[in-house]
Structure 1
Amino acid sequence: MSSLDVMKGVEVGETYRNDKACRQFITAISEVERERLQNETSDNKFISIVSDGSTDVSVIENEIVYIRSAREGNVKIYFCSLEEVKKADAAGIYNAITHSVSEAMGPESLGKVVGFAADGASVNTGKSNGVIVKLRENLSPSIVMIKCLVHRLELAFKEAVKCKAHDSLMTLLGELYKMYHKSPLQRTNLKKAFETLGTAPVMPLRIGGTRWLSHTLRAIQSLWKSYSAIKLHLNQIKATPNHRFGPKAKALSQLMTSKSVVFYGHFLQDILATLSNLSLQLQQRDSSIYTCHEQLKVTITSLQKLETILW
């Protein structure tokens, strides 16, 4: 922030442009935010905990914890902390969550917990020793667990598409991304192929990511936009004797021209367009169980229409 002020022509000196001063500022800001959180939620009778696991650059397991509460009909979400998990089991996650909430809102706030939202991992949902079991045992037996709807949608999709054509398409998308992402020379040659065809360059995209459905949809869409250029470039590689990418180009070319892969890719694009829209709707901050249910019904209707058209 100090560097930004300097760029704007503000004289800030060197007093605060060091690690120690930065630490003091961060500590002061956190104290003010913690006090604001306590003031805004002190009169609330009920709160829900929202948490998810994360791994930092030092490969240390952390748990990010939020509080969701309502006041005078207005639902708000507050960030508590990113808490280090000593051991990524149910007990370790439970301790991290309760410590985070206690530090942010005070120990008495744990008695207000009525809901717990997390992904569908067994460490959270386990009926014998999951985090939800420990919350009910130690805080309140009435705590309701809501599994992350977006996460469940992702898992349901991955379970539904287990087939050879899907595996082949994912292999094609993944290998094309790695080939052109890791090799500047091949990326440059692909751009030349676009120039030869007189079309704007569209590079292959990664299929993974935090929003897996949307990432996969964009990767498939980019494949069709760059299909002719990639096919041309792969043929050029195959025609070059002893090219180090020759075997890979041959394998990828076979996948790209496979009737089953091409048909399945277009089919999956239509399905993902519908599911991605549902996923994005479920991720809205102001969504409710009612709106999620209504959007789910719309999605089912859309999929049934696609089934009629396709079959």
Structure 2
Amino acid sequence: MGRVPVGRSKAAAKAIAQSKQSLLSFAPIVERGGFVDEDNLEGIEPEEGCEVGEGDAASVEEKEKKIRRGKWQLAWVIKWRWLHFDQKNGNNFLDFSSNPTCITTLIFCSICRANKNCKNPFGTSGSTNMKTSSFHAHGQTKDHKHSIYIAEVKAGGQSSMAAANDRQQEAAEKGVICLFRTAYAIAQGFVPLRKYPLLLELQQLNGVYVPSMYKNVMACSRFITFINKVLLDQILEKVKASPFFGIMLDESTDIRFVGFGSDGCNVMTGNRTGVAARLKEVNPFMTSTHCLSHRANLCVEDVYKNPTVHNLCDEVDQVVNKVASFFSRSSSRLQQLQALQDELDFKVLKVLRIQQTRWLSKGGAITRMCECLEPLLKFFKDGRTTQTRKLYDRLRSLKFLYALHFLGDILAVVNQLNLEFQAQTMDVTSVAPLCKATMAKIQVYYLDKQVDLNGFQLDSRGYPIIPDGGRCNGPLDELRSSVKGNEYRDVEMIKSIHGEDLEEVLEFQKNFGTSLLEGIRTRLQDSEATGILSKFHFLAPINLPSSVRELKAFGKFEVQELGKFYTGMINEAELAEEYSLWKIIASEEWKGKTFVDVWGMIYAHSIWTKKYPNLLKLAMVGMVQCYNTASCERGFSRINLVKNKFQNQMGTEMVDKLVRISIEGPPIAKFDFETVVQAWKEGILGPIRHDPVAVLVNMAGCERKGVWWGLKKAILGKVVPHICKHPEDAKTWI
């Protein structure tokens, strides 16, 4: 209120009395918890001045300058609803003792005053500061925010406290899971660790809440360490749960024990001093297996060394590599070829070289050559150099064309067998059936159809017709449909009208197929180790015969052989009796199920475990046999992807973690990040006190009492301001 000299006018005294009465009448309203009903204050506007009498001639502008800053305005209560006047303690809010024309007002915060532990003037003795800036500053203080929290708890009881703690803990854990998920994506996607801050910034710009701490490369490395630890623990739990172990070696990998698998090099499989021989001295039940994928590749290499097919096979390989080198040395040539492929409506493909160190390289490169053949012929036909003319003449020869398409066709069958050996679902009972199925394909596609070499059928142009054979829609089938007389898709071939060249390549086909069948029998079926592994097929219900007579005799020989080999570990007599009963039940109840499915189910039920103890031991030995080293090769490939030119200084320990996560980790949508966060909170790699954020997440839902609550308050008050870069992040924790 403005100063009014005593005796100035009756109007002034009347104004002072009205102001005093309005304040006293307003006090009961704000006393009810500090809240005001806005509907009851409609029409109330902040007073811009105090009219002291009609006789005062000063302008409104001059009056405003004379108004004291401490003049009370009712609109403040609407903006800051916790402003409060209390008459119960005898305080005089309208004090005329010193000057009856001057009003002194004490301001309180109703929320802070209800909190007895609050030491702020608004909650204790009252404030005389009537500046709006002081009200705003008080609303931002920790005392005020803490008093609000206390008031909410009192208003809602323990349920409100639990809900508030749950919300706080949920927000904290979501932020931490975001950090772990980003680190996991980096590990699985072979992304350099230094991109971690950039990815977090991108997520933040896209509206995802990301905590301000743990945004550096060291934090990413720590998160990857925890993820690796959880995955490793899960793997070790599975290994420890198995009564048997297997070994899978490719010069440098992990060692396990009942079965031994390697790439077949001398240091691994030597008869006297090889690793397998040394291990067999310790465990006579161990079987040593040369990787089946390596063997399938060696089968093809053996065929290539056969004198009857070597020259033509070598010619095809040379031409394929020359064509690939011709385009790889010149980007201009490659662009011209790609433009020609696009013009002829062919898929734009690059010619591949044959890599001797790759299992599937030979078949893949030859098949790619068949797919690009027509654009290649047109490209070399238009060439003007001696090299292009020579390549053109070799490519349009019927002898070369047939050998190329035949090799592409039959090597695709071998490659399919190789891929099946590498499949994750592959088990020991599948080896023999897959080999037999592949041998049957080779026999039917390339050997069974005998052709009278002296009586070729002739086409309308008088040229011998290429006989049927090969896979449906395979390269040979495509060649047969593309050849008309002496033309291959409008390109004139070098072809004998009497069929001598066709007779030669058909003989080549017969020799190659026969030699390949012999190689599969020798390398994949008849060796000692593979022979033992092939005996396990009788344990798969899917291999059981449907005839009752055949079922009675089925598996007897295999049971005897395996019983002899594992004498001392299982009882032969009991094994035979158990199997005679098991195969009857399996043929009726489990027909069509795989080896892993059935024996996994039996292992999980104690009734079946007690009924077939010897069979179960045998089945579990079969489950851990190492029939290929594809996992080792995948590991080496992942190492090359992880430790690349962008991360060439990465240490061995970190490389190991990233490789494990990329191989063993499930897709990011299926990974259980809550388990990792829980492990991080518990500090499985070190004392939790070294990780203040983990402490906060761990104690976000603890009760507001006891030692833990005291520690939490200390951390919230001292640690958070130091680890948070922005004030809003500190508010989230507080």
The equivalent position to 1:37 in structure 2, one of 211, 232, 235, is: 235
Contact 2:380/2:392, CA 8 A, preserved across alignment: yes
Question: How far has the Cα of 1:30 moved from its partner?
Answer: 3.1
Q: Is the 8 A contact 2:200 2:215 kept in 1?
A: no
- TM-aligned CA distance change 1:38 to 1:200, over 3 Å: closer
Determine the structure 2 residue equivalent to 1:17: 216
Corresponding residue pairs, total: 247
Structure 2 stretches lacking a partner, 5+ long: 1-181, 183-195, 450-505, 511-734
* Aligned: 1:268 with 2:407: yes
Structure with the greater relative contact order (CA < 8 A, sep ≥ 6): 1 or 2?
A: 2
Cα distance in 1 for residues equivalent to 2:378 and 2:427: 49
SS at match of 1:212: coil
Q: Deviations over 1:207-259 (max 9, x none)?
A: 3387533x43332232223212112222333x2xxxxxx35424432431333
**Which residue in 1 is equivalent to 2:392?**
253
* Equivalent-residue separation in structure 2 for 1:177 and 1:210 (angstroms): 17
The aligned counterpart of 2:248 is: 50
State the distance in 1 between where 2:436 and 2:339 align: 46
Judging changes above 3 Å, is the alpha-carbon distance between structure 1 residues 5 and 175 closer, same or farther for their aligned structure 2 residues?
A: farther
User: What is residue 448 of structure 2 aligned with on the other side?
Assistant: 308
1:186 to 330, 333, 341: 333
Which one of 127, 144, 153 corresponds to residue 287 of structure 2? 144
Q: Does 1:125 align with 2:269?
A: yes
Q: Which amino acid aligns with 1:45?
A: P
- Partner Cα separation in structure 2 for residue 219 and residue 166 of structure 1: 13
Distance, in Å, in 2 between the alignment partners of 1:198 and 1:304 is 36
Q: Output one character per residue of 1:6-33: Cα deviation in whole Å (capped at 9) or x when no partner.
A: 4333435474432x33443333333333
Does the CA contact (< 8 Å) of 2:370 and 2:408 recur in 1? no
Q: Which runs of 4+ in 1 moved over 4 A?
A: none
Q: Counterparts of 2:261 and 2:236 in 1: how far apart (Å)?
A: 21
Partner residue, 1:168: 315
The counterpart of 2:421, out of the listed 255, 279, 282, is 282
Displacement of 1:196: 4.9
Whole-Å separation in 1 of the counterparts to 2:212 and 2:386: 60
Is structure 2 residue 390 aligned with structure 1 residue 216? no
Query: Aligned letter for 2:374?
Result: S
CA contact (8 A) 1:118 1:147 kept: yes
Distance of 1:216 and 1:145 partners within structure 2: 28
Distance in 2, matches of 1:143 and 1:300, equals 29
* Equivalent-residue separation in structure 2 for 1:16 and 1:209 (angstroms): 45
Q: Identify unmatched segments of 5+ residues in structure 1.
A: 54-62, 66-96, 102-112, 240-245
User: CA offsets, 1:27-69, max 9 Å, x none?
Assistant: 333333333333333232211021224xxxxxxxxx233xxxx
**C-alpha distance in 2, partners of 1:182/1:17?**
43
How far apart in 2 are the matches of 1:202 and 1:64? 36
Q: CA 1:14–1:254 in structure 2 vs 1: closer, same or farther (change >3 Å)?
A: farther
Once structures 1 and 2 are overlaid, which stretch shifts more, 172-181 or 5-14? 5-14
Secondary structure in structure 2 of the residue aligned to 1:281: helix
Relative distance call for 1:281 and 1:33 in structure 2 (3 A) is same
Displacement of 1:155 in angstroms is 0.6
Structure 1: distance between partners of 2:390 and 2:202: 52
TM-score, normalised with respect to structure 1: 0.70
1:134 corresponding residue in structure 2? 278
SS in 1 for 2:285: coil
Query: Does the aligned pair in 2 maintain the 1:6–1:12 contact within 8 Å?
Result: no
SS of equivalent to 1:208: coil
Deviations 1:101-158 (A, max 9, x none): 6xxxxxxxxxxx2111111222211112212123234x42332112111110101111
Sequence identity percentage: 25
Shift of the alpha carbon at 1:288?
A: 2.3
Give RMSD over aligned pairs.
2.6
Q: Give the Cα separation in 2 of the matches to 1:40 and 1:224.
A: 46
Letter in 2 for 1:266: H
Q: Which residue of 2 aligns with 1:68?
A: none
Contact 2:293 2:359 in 1 (8 A): no
Aligned mate of 1:7, from 176, 193, 202:
202
Given that residues 268 and 275 in structure 2 are in contact (C-alpha distance below 8 angstroms), is that contact kept between their aligned partners in structure 1?
A: yes
Work out which of the two has the higher radius of gyration on C-alpha atoms and give 1 or 2.
Answer: 2
* TM-score normalised to structure 2 length: 0.31
- State the match for 1:243 in structure 2: none
1:202 offset after TM fit, Å? Answer: 2.9
Match of 1:295 among 429, 434, 447: 434
Q: Could you tell me how far apart the structure 2 residues matched to 1:254 and 1:218 are?
A: 23
**Is the 1:234–1:249 contact (alpha carbons within 8 Å) kept by the matching residues of 2?**
yes
AA at the equivalent of 1:123: V
Q: Against the structure 1 CA distance between its residues 136 and 184, is the aligned structure 2 distance closer, same or farther, given a 3 Å change threshold?
A: same
Contact 1:168/1:255 (8 A) holds in 2: no
Contact 2:261–2:290 (Cα < 8 Å) also in 1: yes
CA distance in 2, matches of 1:31, 1:227: 51
